[in-house]
Structure formats: C-alpha cells, structure tokens
Amino acid sequence: MTEGHQGLLQPANLKALGWRNFFDTQVIEIERADCTPARVIAVHRDALVVHDGNQELRLQLERQWSKTTSHERPTTGDWLLVDANRERISRMLSRESVIKRVSAGVDAGQKTQEQAIAANVDTIFVVTSANDEFSESRLERYLALAHNAGIQPVVVITKCDLIQSGESFRDRTLALTDVPFTLVNALDKTTFQDVYPWLVGGKTIAMMGSSGVGKSTLLNTLAGTHIQDIGDVREDDSRGRHTTTSRSIHLLDNGALMLDTPGIRELTFAFGQETLSEMFKDIEDLIPQCKFSDCVHESEPGCAITAAIGAGKLDRRRFKNYIKMLEEESEHTQTIDENHLEKRRYKNRKLEPGPRDSKKKKKRRI
C-alpha cells in the first residue's frame, strides 16, 4: 500500500481492474514486450498511485505533463503503459469515457479550462439525499454530465430512514427523468437491492454528489470496512463538510470498482449543446412555436414558453435552469476555444524564424 492511500483488495489480474478489449487493442507489439499496463487508482498533487494487477506503484508526473492541458493529464481511472522498471509513464491510453468539469484555473495563473475528474467509468451513481439537499436543478446538471460523457446514470437517494415516506422524492425524480433510481439507507445493506445489480465485477462506478449526502457512508457499507471518513451535516441547510479530499478507486468484495469523488459544490460542467437539446427537448420543441423569432420568453405576446408555464405544462424552475445551463455552455465553449486559439498562436510564434534565421550569412568568395 502506498503512503496516504487506502489500498485495493488484491485484484487477480488486469481484467479485475477493468482491462478489456478497448484498451488491449491500443497496445502495439513492441510495447507488450517493454511496458506494463497499469490503472490510475488515485491522484495526488505531484504523483499518481497506479496498480498493475500485482502491486501498487507511486509514479511521479514528469515535466512533459506540465506542458499539457488539464484534461490531457492522467486522472483517476486512466490506463497507462509503464516502463519495464515500473518507474516511468511511457504513455496514456485513449479513454473509453471521461467525466469533465470546467475549472477556473486549476493551477495558479491558468485560465478557465476543462479538467478531467474521472476516466473509463461505466456507471455514475448520482447521490443525493431525502432532505433539503435534494435539488431538481442540481440533478439535471449531473444527468447532463452523465449524458455528455456517454455514461449510464443511476440516481441514489440516501437517508430514506429519516423520512416517513419516500413517495415525494420518488415523484420529484420521476418528473425529471426516466433513468433508474433507488432510495436507500446508506447504513443498511438490506436497502441496497436496487444498487447491487450495478455492482458488476470489473465495472467502474463513480459516485458523485454534494458533500454530506452519504457517499462515504455508502462506500463504507458496501465495502464492509472503513474506507472514507464521514463528516457531519449542518442542520440549517442539510449540507455537509468535505471528508473525501481526492478521487480514488476501491475494489469491493464482489469485484466492482467504486470511484469516490469529493463533493462538488460548484457544478460547473461542460455539458455540450447536443446534450442540452436532448435533455430539454420539451423546451426546444416549444421555442419555434413562439410568435416572434427573437422572443426572449418574458412578456412578449404569443410566447409559447410563457403560455406553457401559465398552463402548468412547463415548470418555470426547469426553464430557468435550461437557460442558465445554456448560457454557461456557450460561455465555457467560447472561453475554451479562445484558450486553444491562443495556444496555437503561441506555438506558431515559436516556430516562426527569428531575424538571425531569416538572414543567412553568405560565404565570401576568395
């Protein structure tokens, strides 16, 4: 076990860590002789904890990774090829899926950019709780994140033992989405009957949600041992304090791989225009029915949106969340595109010949 990391149960082989044909076909013959595949199971500030199916290794991120953008660097869940001495990263394999957020400067002096927070995930448990923390707008954001990443979401509502009936939370979830969901007591395995079918050997499940919703408790109960510390929840707003401080993978007894993430209070994700169009199809089908093509959906006559809200066919909260997410996506896309353009210009400037290069000295004839 590496320092500062709760070790995995000993996997039998790479397949137990999630290795499959998608990754195997990326490895060329010479690499099979000189390199070993290893999966990133934890990320620290200056190093990675990886597992090669036999042992955990701590690898330093070398200087060349600092020249890449944040989402191009290895993150928890990535597969790497490690040299024969198991000391250096040869290269990172292409990802089957990746969960990204928008970060306003991951490192000091950096601009807004996309940051990969987990890779090669099969299922996302969107964890919320049956109290004031439950938020339809927040759930829509997590569902958009899963949709954009091409990952199956499952809504897990914890703390059902603290309420008389979960019907209201069940109804509120069904009003948003048709994805699978379940209500559980994170301390009681007998309430996990709808959770276990997703815990398949070799599959990676990422748990995402706000601080205090019970992600660490759920993980500890599933593992049958203490893996993550548990924090208190403030009574005034049902919010918790961060106890999970880094993203890490844990192997359960049945072979499933649980990827725990810190609570994310600012849900700033790169949703994707196509994702928003599919998730809010009901709204985008109404917009062309407005009388005016430049309708801003406030007080204009003939507005199909305000008419639907007035008739109770569209939730005003849902429409406002759609507009907010749409504006964020537009702003983030523009900012990230500008960053990419600036990076290309910088590279081009470095490639341009300098004054000395352009004025070659002529040899004097004797």
Express each pLDDT in 17-32 by its tens digit.
Answer: 999 999 999 999 999 9
**Domain residue limits at 72:** 14-96
Q: What pLDDT does residue 74 have?
A: 93
∠ CA 322-95-343, rounded to 5°: 75
Q: Between 11 and 326, whose confidence is greater?
A: 326
Residue 256 is part of a domain; what is its CATH number?
3.40.50.300
Q: What is the pLDDT of residue 318?
A: 95
| 216 and 134 share one domain | yes
Quick one: 207 and 318 in the same domain?
A: no
Query: Would the CA dihedral through 241, 247, 251, 254 be positive or negative?
Result: positive
108 occurs within a structural domain: no
Confidence band (pLDDT; 50, 70, 90) for 65? Answer: confident
Last residue of a domain, one of 215, 235, 260: 260
Residue 104 is assigned to a structural domain of this protein: no
Summarised one tens digit per residue, pLDDT across range 98-147 is 998 876 554 444 566 788 999 999 999 999 999 999 999 999 999 999 99
> Is residue 313 included in any domain, yes or no?
yes
On whether residue 45 sits in a domain, the answer given is yes
Q: Are 222 and 258 in contact (CB under 8 A)?
A: yes
160 plus 241 within the same structural domain: yes
The CA distance from 130 to 157, in Å, is 6
Is the pLDDT at 344 greater than 90? The verdict is: no
Q: What is the pLDDT of residue 106?
A: 44
In terms of pLDDT, which residue wins out, 345 or 273?
Answer: 273
Decide if 99 contacts 31 (C-beta within 8 A): no
Same domain, yes or no: 156 and 253: yes
Q: What total of structural domains would you count in the chain?
A: 3
Backbone dihedral angles phi then psi of residue 215, each to the nearest 5 degrees: -65, -45
Lowest-confidence region among 9-13, 113-117, 238-242, 255-259: 238-242
Average pLDDT over residues 85-102: 92
The per-residue pLDDT for 336 is 59
Q: For the chain, give the secondary structure using H, E and C.
A: CCCCCCCCCCCCCHHHHCCCHHHHCCCCHHHHHHEEEEEEEEECCCEEEEECCCCEEEEECCHHHHHCCHHHCCCCCCEEEEECCCCCEEEECCCCCEEEEEEECCCCCCCEEEEEEEECCCEEEEEEECCCCCCHHHHHHHHHHHHHHCCEEEEEEECHHHCCCCHHHHHHHHCCCCCCEEECCCCCHHHCCCCHHHCCCCCEEEEECCCCCCHHHHHHHHHCCCCCCCCCECCCCCCECCCCCCCEEEECCCCCEEEECCCCCCCCECCCHHHHHHHCHHHHHHHHHCCCCCCCCCCCCCCHHHHHHHCCCCCHHHHHHHHHHHHHHHHHHHHHHHHHHHHHHHHHHHHCCCHHHHCCCCCCCC
Are 199 and 130 part of one and the same domain? yes
pLDDT bucket at 47, cuts 50 / 70 / 90: confident
**205 beta partners:** 123, 258
What type of residue sits at position 314?
Answer: L
Do 128 and 255 sit in the same domain of this protein? yes
Domain boundary among 260, 295, 330: 260
- The confidence score (pLDDT) of residue 261 equals 82
Q: Does 27 lie in the same domain as 71?
A: yes
Residue 253 and residue 300 in one domain: no
213, 231, 260 - which closes a domain: 260
Q: What pLDDT was estimated at residue 242?
A: 43
pLDDT in tens, 212-225: 898 999 999 999 88
Residue 103 maps to a domain: no
Please give the C-alpha separations between residue 41 and each of 38, 45, 329, in angstroms, as whole numbers.
9, 14, 30
Tell me the average pLDDT of the chain: 83
Cα–Cα nearest to 204, from 81, 47, 59, 41 = 41
Greater confidence (264 vs 69) lies with 69
Residues 210 and 126 in one domain: yes
Confidence of residue 62 (pLDDT cuts 50, 70, 90): confident
Q: Which of 162-171, 239-248, 306-315, 350-359 has the highest mean pLDDT?
A: 306-315
The verdict on 201 and 247 lying in the same domain is yes
Residues 219, 332 within the same domain: no
Query: Token pair of 273, please?
Result: 């225009």
Average pLDDT (79-98) is 94
Give the sign of the dihedral formed by CA 219, CA 221, CA 222, CA 224: positive
**Are 202 and 148 members of one domain?**
yes
Residue 5 lies in a domain: no
pLDDT on residue 119: 97
First to last CA, the chain: 73
- The CATH number for 80's domain is 2.30.30.140
Tell if the pTM clears 0.95, that is, is over it. no
The Cα 14–Cα 353 span in angstroms is 48
Token pair in block for residue 64 = 């060349």
Mean pLDDT of 265-275: 70
Q: Is residue 68 part of a domain?
A: yes
Pairwise pLDDT comparison (59 vs 110), residue with the higher score: 59
Q: Each residue of 307-320: b (16+ CB within 10 Å) or e?
A: ebbeeeebeeebbe
CATH number, position 283: 1.10.40.50
